[in-house]
Every structure is written in C-alpha cells, then in structure tokens.
C-alpha cells in the first residue's frame, strides 16, 4: 500500500490551561483524496491544518505526510490561506512564479502561462493584486500553490471571503483542477454545504476540546447537484451532527 498523504495518531495541542485546541486526533488521508475539516469557529480546524503544514508542533502524537514525519513546513504541503496570501508588490506573474524562482526551475514562463490559462487568468499576468477581484486573487494564490507542484494542497477557508456566486465558481475550478492533477486536498470550512459539494470525506470536529466527532463519507457522484434530494439528505445528516455537538457544548459551558 502506498504511504498515506496524511497519517495522524494521537495528536494533542493545548494552547493554554483552558484551551485544548486538539485532543486525541487520529486521521488518515489517502493520496488524491479530497477531505474537508468541518466544525464551528474555534473548534481547532486551523490548528489541525497548521499541524499538518508543519507550522504548529503538537504537544503529543505523530504526524506524517507521504510516509515522512512532519517537523517543519515543506514543499510537498502547499498552504492556501483565506486572505493576504499574495505579495501586493508583485504582479500576478511574479506571484505565481515566486516558488519556481526559489527552486531555480527551468522554463518558468511556460509553467506560469499554463496556470494562467487553467485558472482563467490569461491577460492578467501584469496586474497587481489590488487590481483584481477577490475571486481572481484567490485563483492566483491557488496557481502559486500549483506552480510548485505540491502533491498536497492545504486550504484554510480559502473561499470564505467571497460572495456566493464567486464561491461556487471557485469550487468548480478547484474540483476541475483536483480531478485533472490528482492532488490531495485538505480543505477547512465551516460551511456544511461547501463540504458536501467538495469532499470525498468530511471530518466533523468537536469544540473544546477539538476532537474528531465523526468522519462522514460523501458517496455522491460528481458534478454534484446541490438541488438534488441526496445532496439535501447529506446536508441534513451533517447539520444534525453539528447541532448535536453545539448543544453538548452549550450544556457543558453553561451548566
Ligand atoms: P478554527 O480554525 O476551527 O476556528 P482554531 O484552530 O483557530 O479554530 O482555534 C482553536 C482554539 O484554539 C480556539 O479556541 C482559539 O481561540 C485557540 N487558539 C488558536 N490559536 C491560538 C494561539 N496561538 N494561542 C492561544 N489560543 C489559540
Ligand atoms: Mg480557522
């Protein structure tokens, strides 16, 4: 069996006496899989993603990516943030080429041109981020992550700041790229709908401590129709899980 893209066992991360951000996390992500981390604000989604990225070291437990222990950020795990992910003083072209220049790769221009095309950014290579829409900026950020050919994209609510229509078209772009390029994606969201639209599996997390409550498979064929009864049923199932967790937390916090 090939190495898992992500292999996590017994991970714990406590920030303060009271804030147990992650506890007892076990998670495996297969190569090429699209996994969403779902849960309310503050449940530890970003912390878990940052542990996978190597930005945060867990207090306990093991984290491996593609069979190697994660000790620091690495080029095989590219992070895409919600905002501020671009260098404002660089053009679109320079932003996308940034990682390539570090790697001193040959043929920077063809690679960048191909990505501009793939992400519908043709003709915008000389623009600066401030002269782009939110959706276009996020497409540049994704292009940059793809440029360095990371086998894994780690995405922290990347479409959270976009309006609903732009978000849907970005989701479609991402799914198209994912199926063409066969990357592994770990995608953080608090949107139940978004997780059902995107993921092979949804990891539902609990709040304080942040644990894995349930891992739900989404067996719906793609492209998925948010108007279909199967889609609605899956959204209801996940909503019930999230609400159950919210009630549990309220009882605990206010009793
Ligand atoms: P999410 O991404 O699900 O909203 P986070 O992973 O950002 O949640 O945070 C989980 C919990 O840890 C929250 O209660 C948050 O306030 C706390 N937290 C996150 N980062 C830090 C930090 N650097 N220091 C202290 N507490 C933190
Ligand atoms: Mg977060």
CA 153/CA 174 separation, integer angstroms: 11
Burial-class residue 160 by CB neighbours within 10 Å (0-12, 13-18, 19+).
Answer: middle
Helix/strand number for the chain, H first, E second: 7, 10
pLDDT tens for 59-96 read 999 999 999 999 999 989 999 887 767 999 999 999 99
CA 179/CA 183 separation, integer angstroms: 8
With a 6 Å cutoff on the Cβ, whether 19 touches ligand 1 is yes
State both tokens at 133. Answer: 């829409």
Prediction pTM value: 0.93
With a 6 Å cutoff on the Cβ, whether 43 touches ligand 1 is yes
How sure is the predictor about 105, in pLDDT bands with cuts at 50, 70 and 90?
low
The CA-atom distances, in angstroms, between 44 and each of 20, 100, 173 are 9, 32, 27
Atom of ligand 1 nearest to the CA of 39: 3
Instruction: Classify the C-alpha dihedral 90-91-97-99 as positive or negative.
Output: positive
- Ligand nearest the Cα of residue 47 is 1
pLDDT tens for 26-64 read 999 999 999 999 999 999 999 999 999 999 999 999 999
- Ligand nearest the Cα of residue 157 is 2
Q: Whose CA is nearest to atom 16 of ligand 1?
A: 42
Atom of ligand 1 nearest to the CA of 210: 10
CA 16/CA 13 separation, integer angstroms: 9
With a 6 Å cutoff on the Cβ, whether 220 touches ligand 1 is no
């Amino acid at each position: 069996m090939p190495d898992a893209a992500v292999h996590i066992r017994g991970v714990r991360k406590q920030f303060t006496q009271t804030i147990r951000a992650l506890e007892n996390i076990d998670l495996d992500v297969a190569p090429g899989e699209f996994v969403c981390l779902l849960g309310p604000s503050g449940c530890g989604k970003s912390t878990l993603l940052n542990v996978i990225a190597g930005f945060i070291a867990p207090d306990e437990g093991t984290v491996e990516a593609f069979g190697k222990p994660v000790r620091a950020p690495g080029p095989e795990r590219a992070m895409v943030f919600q905002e501020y992910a671009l260098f404002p003083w660089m053009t679109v072209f320079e932003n996308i080429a940034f990682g390539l220049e570090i790697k001193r790769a040959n043929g920077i221009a063809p690679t960048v041109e191909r990505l501009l095309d793939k992400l519908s950014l043709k003709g915008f290579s000389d623009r600066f981020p401030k002269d782009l829409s939110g959706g276009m900026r996020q497409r540049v950020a994704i292009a940059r992550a793809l440029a360095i050919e990371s086998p894994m994209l780690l995405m922290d609510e990347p479409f959270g700041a976009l309006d609903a229509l732009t978000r849907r078209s970005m989701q479609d772009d991402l799914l198209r790229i994912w199926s063409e390029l066969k990357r592994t994606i770990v995608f953080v969201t608090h949107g139940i709908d978004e997780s059902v639209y995107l993921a092979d599996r949804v990891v539902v997390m609990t709040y304080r401590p942040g644990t894995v409550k349930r891992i739900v498979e989404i067996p719906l064929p793609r492209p998925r129709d948010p108007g279909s009864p199967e889609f609605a049923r899956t959204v209801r199932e996940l909503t019930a899980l999230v609400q159950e967790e919210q009630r549990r937390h309220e009882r605990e916090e206010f009793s």
